[in-house]
C-alpha cells in the first residue's frame, strides 16, 4: 500500500513570505522572546553577488529594522575578490580552514556550515547561498517568520520557482535539476513522509541553534539532504515549515557539475539509510566518480574524488561546549 500524501502538514506548515512582511512585528517577537539572529553565507568565488546580498540584509534587516544581529561569511579559499566584497558590504569573514584548526580539514559547503556553528552567536541561524541574483530581504525574514511567530517550528526550508538560462534567454522553470532527478525520487522511494517538501535541496534554510547543534552535518553537497533527514528524525515533521519565496535566480551549473552534486546527494542519502537500518551496504561505497569529456581524439575520462563524510553534532564537540559555557558566563 502506498504511503498517504502528507496533505495536512502541507496545508498547515506551508507559508508565503508575505505573511511575515511586517518587520516591526518580527522585531517585537524577537525582543519578546529574548532571541538573537545570525545570518551565515557560505562562499567560494561569489564576488559578483555576495556584496549585493549582504548589503540588502544590512540596509533592511540590520539598520532599518533590527531583525538580524550579525552577518557572517564562511569562505572557502575564494580567489576572485569575494572576501574583499563581503567585508566592504559589512560582513564578518572567516576562512573555514581557520576554524577548529585542530580537526582534520575536509572543506566544501557542508563543512563550512558545520564550522560556522562555532563562530556564530545567534539563537536563530539563517543559512543563505551567496549566488542569488534577485536577492530581496524576504529571503531572510521569510525564513525567520515561522521560527518567531508560529508555534512549535524549529527548522524552515525555502521553496521557490527556479528559472534556467537557455540559448535565447531565461525560461521561467527548469532549474533544480538535481532536486527533480535525484532528491525527489529518493524521498518518494524511502521517505514518503517528506514528499510534500517542495525544495529539499534548497540552500536557504533557518533553524534554532538547539536544532542545528544537535544533528550531524554531511560535508560537501550532501549537507542539505542530510540536514533534512536528520532534523525530521530529531524534531519530527511538525517541527518543520516551508516558505514560498516566489522566484530564485542564480548561476545555473553545467550538467557535469550537477552530476557531481548528485553523486554527493546519493552518497549522503545511502549513508543515512544505512545508519537508520533502512539499507544494507556490503563494503564501502566507491568515492571516485568517473565522467567523460569529448575531445579531438574521442572521449577522454575524467575522475573526481568525491567523498561525503559526516561531522558529529556540534554539541558533542568539547570545544563547542566550552565556547557555549563562556558565552553564557559572559566576559
Within 13 Å and on the Cβ side, how many CA atoms surround 231?
Answer: 29
* Residue 330: Cβ within 10 Å count: 5
pLDDT (0 to 100) of residue 324: 87
From residue 279, give the alpha-carbon distance in Å to each of 1, 123, 182, 190, 232.
Answer: 20, 35, 18, 10, 18
User: Residue 202 burial by CB count (10 A; 0-12/13-18/19+): exposed, middle or buried?
Assistant: buried
Looking at residue 331, its pLDDT comes to 55
- What's this model's pTM, rounded to 2 decimal places? 0.94
* Percent above pLDDT 90 for the chain: 83
Q: Greater confidence, 171 or 324?
A: 324
- pLDDT of 327 reads 74
Q: What is the pLDDT of residues 6-44, one digit of tens each?
A: 999 999 999 999 999 999 999 999 999 999 999 999 999
Residue 181 belongs to domain spanning: 7-329
Residue at 1 is within a domain:
no
Phi, psi angles (nearest 5°) of residue 126: -115, 125
Identify the bridge partners of residue 206 per DSSP, sorted by sequence position: 126, 156
> Residue 2 falls within a domain, yes or no?
no
> pLDDT tens digits, residue range 226-285?
999 999 999 999 999 999 999 998 676 788 899 999 999 999 999 999 999 999 988 889
Q: How many domains does the chain have?
A: 1
CATH, residue 225: 3.90.550.10
Q: What is the pLDDT of residue 152?
A: 97
Which whole number is the average pLDDT over 126-152?
97
Model pLDDT for residues 154-167, shown as the tens digit of each residue? 999 999 997 765 55
Sorted by sequence, the CB contacts under 8 Å of residue 142 that are 6+ apart come out as 15, 16, 17, 20, 158, 243, 245
Note whether residue 88 is domain-resident.
yes
Amino acid at each position: 500500500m502506498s504511503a498517504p500524501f502528507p496533505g495536512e502538514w502541507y496545508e498547515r506548515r506551508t507559508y508565503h513570505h508575505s505573511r511575515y512582511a511586517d518587520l516591526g512585528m518580527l522585531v517585537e517577537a524577537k525582543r519578546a522572546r529574548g532571541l538573537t539572529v545570525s545570518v551565515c553565507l557560505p562562499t567560494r568565488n561569489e564576488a559578483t553577488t555576495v556584496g549585493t546580498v549582504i548589503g540588502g540584509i544590512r540596509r533592511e534587516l540590520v539598520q532599518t529594522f533590527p531583525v538580524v544581529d550579525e552577518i557572517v561569511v564562511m569562505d572557502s579559499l575564494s580567489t576572485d575578490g569575494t572576501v574583499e566584497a563581503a567585508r566592504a558590504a559589512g560582513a564578518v569573514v572567516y576562512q573555514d580552514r581557520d576554524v577548529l584548526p585542530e580537526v582534520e580539514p575536509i572543506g566544501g559547503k557542508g563543512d563550512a556550515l558545520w564550522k560556522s556553528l562555532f563562530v556564530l552567536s545567534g539563537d536563530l541561524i539563517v543559512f543563505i547561498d551567496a549566488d542569488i541574483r534577485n536577492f530581496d530581504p524576504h529571503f531572510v525574514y521569510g525564513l525567520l517568520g515561522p521560527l518567531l511567530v508560529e508555534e512549535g517550528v524549529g527548522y524552515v526550508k525555502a521553496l521557490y520557482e527556479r528559472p534556467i538560462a537557455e540559448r535565447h534567454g531565461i525560461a521561467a522553470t527548469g532549474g533544480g535539476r538535481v532536486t527533480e532527478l535525484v532528491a525527489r525520487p529518493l524521498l518518494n522511494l524511502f521517505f514518503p513522509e517528506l514528499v510534500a517538501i517542495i525544495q529539499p535541496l534548497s540552500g536557504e534554510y533557518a533553524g534554532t541553534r538547539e536544532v542545528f547543534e544537535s544533528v550531524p552535518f554531511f560535508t560537501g553537497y550532501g549537507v542539505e539532504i542530510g540536514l533534512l533527514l536528520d532534523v525530521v528524525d530529531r524534531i519530527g515533521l511538525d517541527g518543520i515549515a516551508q516558505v514560498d519565496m516566489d522566484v530564485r535566480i542564480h548561476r545555473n551549473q553545467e550538467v557535469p557539475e550537477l552530476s557531481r552534486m548528485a553523486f554527493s546527494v546519493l552518497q549522503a542519502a545511502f549513508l543515512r539509510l544505512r545508519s537508520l537500518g533502512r539499507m544494507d551496504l556490503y563494503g564501502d561505497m566507491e568515492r571516485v566518480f568517473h565522467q567523460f569529456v569529448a575531445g579531438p581524439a574521442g572521449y577522454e575520462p575524467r575522475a573526481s574524488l568525491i567523498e561525503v563524510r559526516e561531522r558529529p553534532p556540534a554539541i558533542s564537540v568539547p570545544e563547542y561546549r566550552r565556547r557555549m559555557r563562556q558565552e553564557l558566563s559572559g566576559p
